[in-house]
Amino acid sequence: MQSLLELAKTAPEAALEQTRQLKGELQQEAQAGILALWGQTNPALAWRWLESNHPDDNAAFIALIGAIAITQPTATLDLADRYAQSQSPIKKDIYQAAIQGLVRGGHYDSAVFLLDYLDQNDGFRQDLTRALVAQWATYQPQAALEWLAQQPAQPVANPPGRSGTMPTETAQDDALQQQNELRENTYRQWLMEDTTAAASWLGSQTPSPALDALFGQLAQQLADDPRQALAAAGRIQDSQLKLNTLLGVLSPVKQADPAQASAYIQQLDYLNDSQRNSLKRDLALTP
């Protein structure tokens, strides 16, 4: 196998010819590895070989698209689109392989371009958005979050029997909820990997209801530093979520030092008297 892959770097067709001596899964593995190398340097020829020798091997074409995408974003967009148009039942798999390969190669703009190109009516754009952001956030969480914040909630496919109708209000709510969950998951991933950078970015954002859950996550992450955690909680817009987050931050403080917990509550100038009393009551502190 290793000698075939070495040969493939300079003579891919010769290497592929030699795979005819192999059988079963070993042959498939060797051909896939050689095509992946060839596709990253000359995608058109690699694609043509596969069309000539295995025209019905959908899995091989999908794998080749993913490999090509790592180094050849422009060719990927063309090949993925043409193949998807001829293979409608596996269109989602084709585009997903392309997006994953583009992200692996750092071609985020091309991945976004492909995603924006997709037909909204295909019904899988939200799934591919989730796949894109999950990978993108591993390498560039700030860019992934900022792009996600600019995206409208993805339309949801119409329920069976309602073709031609507008999405229901419930479906639109579900789409918005899915997008919020994706944003929260992306921020949580960043927060766990680089708390300082994630906290700095969120601190530079203008508070809004859309960011409430992120400020709540930040407050929980900073719980070992109550002053910072309480400051993050103070930027939450929803009153009930703010109080719940404060309870989560102050409960361990109260267990260790009730007087300190009371002092923190008194210092929170973003609370009114009613909210302060509610916190003290829930924490079983003397009013």
Assign 170 a pLDDT band (cuts: 50, 70, 90).
low
Q: Locate 262 and state its tokens.
A: 């009371």
Segment 180-225, tens digit of pLDDT:
888 999 999 999 999 999 999 999 999 999 999 999 999 999 999 9
Segment 219-270, tens digit of pLDDT:
999 999 999 999 999 999 999 999 999 999 999 999 999 999 999 999 999 9
Most confident listed range (62-76, 159-173, 178-192): 62-76
User: What is the chain's percent helix, strand, coil content, to nearest 5?
Assistant: 75, 0, 25
DSSP secondary structure of 228-274: HHHHHHTT--SHHHHHHHHHHHHHHHHHH-HHHHHHHHHH-TTS-HH
pLDDT at 135 over 80: yes
Tell whether pTM > 0.85. Answer: no
Average predicted confidence (pLDDT) for the chain: 89
Torsion region of 57: left, alpha or beta (phi above 0 gives left; psi -120 to 50 gives alpha): beta
With b for 16 or more beta-carbon neighbours within 10 A and e for fewer, the 119-128 pattern comes to: eeeeebbbeb
Would you state the pLDDT for residue 162?
45
pLDDT at 159 over 70: no
> What is the distance between the alpha carbons of residues 131 and 25, in angstroms, rounded to a whole number?
28
